[in-house]
């Protein structure tokens, strides 16, 4: 089969690799019909993280073509989505859809190691399919099903951890695909105003079109602009979808007394100079988490089916999988207004 392989610094290619085999009696093989590039794929693409030969990708939908005898939740022929992140599939957290907290320490994302080949390919092998693969519900669009495999789950987590109450003010730092998903999900909680912060004009325009108040951060004064706009008060909730220390500090620094900052941008920093005095005196809350994707599906499926949650058009570029190298280059350098790339097969 064809699969997108990381070759080394800023280089990917579609290569012929062996077809996957069933990963045990609880696993399935999915024939992939659509698969996206994620910002976190770029961490590998930029070099230094993944081993050359890593088969990339973790956001896909497709059709089950083979299922082990212990699989009961999906059948051959079902149209399915696949969680970007999986765990051991046996422990209590995995069983409740929370593989990020896998008690066996087996948390893993597809397409990040040689051991767990990725989703930018013709087929993918998924273990513990009853936990990590789900039939695409009627009324959920294919594009939205792809987003449900990672970025929508992450954006929803960001919004739900931010303690947004009706009438609240919210700030979102970072308007890439995850930030825009967080914006759409924040609106479910009834805030009065959402400030949307980024450096890129197209992203600010997209957030404005979704009803947010755009804040251009190019002058480095995003927090001051929001504090001014709220007459010195700050916001009740801030969502950080960038993954930099400075934007975490901005998310905390922009909070009103009693506010909550919710960090979903990947950040493994050990040297963040947390403003302890501010947090102590203003009674602030900081939450940070990596999304356990399947745990968000019971809320997100009905929200999408009913139309209570509508998502903006996120995929700016639709390419054939054979154009993977061009897709990565477009997405990496944000050429041609590229926001997110979807490959179809
Ligand atoms: Zn992703
Ligand atoms: Zn587990």
CA 150–ligand 1 middle distance (angstroms): 5
pLDDT of residue 29: 98
CA 69–ligand 2 middle distance (angstroms): 21
**Average pLDDT, stretch 78-104?**
98
pLDDT of residue 48: 80
CA 86–ligand 2 middle distance (angstroms): 8
pLDDT digit string, tens, across residues 276-286: 999 999 999 99
pLDDT of residue 101: 97
pLDDT of residue 317: 97
Over the chain, what is the mean pLDDT?
97
Asked if pLDDT for residue 308 goes beyond 90, the answer is: yes
Query: What's the token pair of residue 311?
Result: 């998502």
CA 55–ligand 1 middle distance (angstroms): 14
Asked if pLDDT for residue 201 goes beyond 90, the answer is: yes
**Average pLDDT, stretch 51-76?**
98
- Cβ contacts of residue 254 below 8 Å, gap of 6+? 171, 222, 223, 226, 227, 234, 235, 238
The number of beta carbons lying within 10 Å of the beta carbon of residue 75 is 12
pTM over 0.95: yes
pLDDT of residue 49: 86
**Average pLDDT, stretch 262-267?**
96
Concatenate the DSSP letters of all residues of 272-302 into one string.
----HHHHHHTT-EEEE----HHHHHHHHHH
- Of the ligands numbered here, which is closest to the C-alpha atom of 93? 2
CA 109–ligand 2 middle distance (angstroms): 13
């Amino acid at each position: 089969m064809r699969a997108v392989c990381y070759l080394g610094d800023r280089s990917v290619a579609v290569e012929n690799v062996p077809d996957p085999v069933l990963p045990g009696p609880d696993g399935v093989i999915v024939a992939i019909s659509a698969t996206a590039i994620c910002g976190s794929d770029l961490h590998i693409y930029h070099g230094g993280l993944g081993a050359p030969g890593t088969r990339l990708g973790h956001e896909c939908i497709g059709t089950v073509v083979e299922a082990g005898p212990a699989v009961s939740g999906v059948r051959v022929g079902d149209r399915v989505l696949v969680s970007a992140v999986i765990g051991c599939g046996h422990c209590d957290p995995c069983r409740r859809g929370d593989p990020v907290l896998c008690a066996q320490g087996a948390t893993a994302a597809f397409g990040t190691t040689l051991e767990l080949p990725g989703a930018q390919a013709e087929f993918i092998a998924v273990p513990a399919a009853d936990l990590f693969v789900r039939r695409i519900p009627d009324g959920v669009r294919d594009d939205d099903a792809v987003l449900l495999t990672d970025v929508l789950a992450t954006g929803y987590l960001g919004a739900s951890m931010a303690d947004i109450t009706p009438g609240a003010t919210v700030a979102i730092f970072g308007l890439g695909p995850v930030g825009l998903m967080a914006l759409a999900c924040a609106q479910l909680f009834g805030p009065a105003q959402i400030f949307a912060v980024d450096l890129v004009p197209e992203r600010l325009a997209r957030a404005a079109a979704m009803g947010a108040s755009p804040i251009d951060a190019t002058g480095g004064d995003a927090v001051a602009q929001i504090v001014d706009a709220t007459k010195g008060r700050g916001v009740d909730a801030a969502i950080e979808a960038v993954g930099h220390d400075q934007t975490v500090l901005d998310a905390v620094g922009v909070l009103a007394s009693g506010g909550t900052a919710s960090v979903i941008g990947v950040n493994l920093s050990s040297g963040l100079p947390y403003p302890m005095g501010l947090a102590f005196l203003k009674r602030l809350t900081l939450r940070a988490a990596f999304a356990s994707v399947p745990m968000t599906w019971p809320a997100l499926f009905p929200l999408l089916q009913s139309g209570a949650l509508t998502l903006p058009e996120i995929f700016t570029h639709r390419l054939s999988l054979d154009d993977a190298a061009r897709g990565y280059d477009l997405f990496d350098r944000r050429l041609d207004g590229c926001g997110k790339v979807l490959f179809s097969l």
